[in-house]
Amino acid sequence: MRRKLVAGNWKMNGSRGALAELDGIAAAAAGTPGVDVGIAVPFTLIAPAAERVPGLTIGAQDVHLAASGAHTGCISAAMVAEAGARFTLVGHSERRCDRGESDADVKAKAEAARRAGLSVILCVGEQLAERDAGRAEAVVAEQIAGSLPEGAAADWLSIAYEPVWAIGTGRTPTLADVAQMHGTIRRQLAASIGGGADAMRILYGGSVTADNAADLLGAADVDGALVGGASLTAAKFVPIVSAASVIGG
């Protein structure tokens, strides 16, 4: 059985004062040894977060694909690793949609993160028009095929499926839709990397809350959650971790 992973993404939210929320999250993570827990914070909070809760896995929300150079305003994988990050997101829909990142960009970022010793959560997902056109599974399969880094393996890489139209809207696909898409992702992983696909975790991300976490985490091929707004407070995030613990056995 694949070990559950619950990762929070604070996006462009939080200040040093907000780091107090990590205390309760860290305590919950320590109390649920059957679940891996991480929080991706803004770049400015990586170092203070890692110092405040050394037992909690702190991550970045993105990295640049280059190791260094004339890239004003960008942060390399080595920089976030030095600050205390242990993983990073790549390919989040808000990077793909708002910043025009391609599958090739996402692949290069994942490979850069791996070279810096970071684990990676690689995000894929369709927009509403693509789902309405009946292309959701084809779009996601294409993203997997184009974004998977060289040497992709379950010990450092996870996939997060984000139906873009469900992020922050309160809308979620049906459980059957989620299971079907996660099955498609598993099959595409098998086509791309072979037998190692069985061990790779596939997370669901899209308006995950304490109310729907147990149902979503219990769907076929759902190995955890990528949580947005509900990860900003311990009160909302800890119940999701608890739900993962129950589902994970």
Q: Which residues on neighbouring strands pair with residue 37, listed in sequence order?
A: 6
140 inside domain: yes
What's the structural domain count of the chain? Answer: 1
pLDDT, position 170? 77
248 inside domain: no
pLDDT at 113 over 90: yes
For the chain, give the mean pLDDT.
96
155 inside domain: yes
Contact present, 121 and 106 (Cβ < 8 Å): no
148 inside domain: yes
55 inside domain: yes
Instruction: Please say if 64 is a catalytic residue.
Output: no
Instruction: Please say if 182 is a catalytic residue.
Output: no
Q: What percent of the chain has pLDDT over 70?
A: 100
Contact present, 232 and 12 (Cβ < 8 Å): no
Distance CA 93, CA 166 (A): 11
pLDDT, position 17? 97
Contact present, 160 and 185 (Cβ < 8 Å): no
Helix (H) or strand (E) holding 182: helix 175-193
pLDDT, position 171? 76
The residue segments making up the domain with residue 109 are: 4-9+37-171+180-211+219-229
Find the catalytic residue in 21, 92, 101, 126: 92
Taking only the tens place, the pLDDT of each residue in 135-177 is: 999 999 999 999 999 999 999 999 999 999 887 777 778 999 9
Region 71-89: mean pLDDT is 98
- Gyration radius from the chain CA atoms: 17
pLDDT at 116 over 60: yes
pLDDT, position 249? 54
Taking only the tens place, the pLDDT of each residue in 221-245 is: 999 999 999 999 999 999 999 999 9
Tell me, yes or no, if the pTM score tops 0.95: yes
pLDDT, position 168? 76
Find the catalytic residue in 111, 130, 137, 162: 162
Q: For residue 6, name the pLDDT band (cuts at 50, 70, 90).
A: very high
197 inside domain: yes
240 inside domain: no
Taking only the tens place, the pLDDT of each residue in 40-64 is: 999 999 999 999 999 999 999 999 9
Q: What percent of the chain has pLDDT over 90?
A: 92
120 inside domain: yes
pLDDT, position 95? 95
Pure H helices in 194-224: 213-217
- Amino acid identity of 45? L
Q: Where residue 112 sits, what CATH number does that domain have?
A: 3.20.20.70
- Tokens linked to 153: 């393996």
- Amino acid identity of 52? R
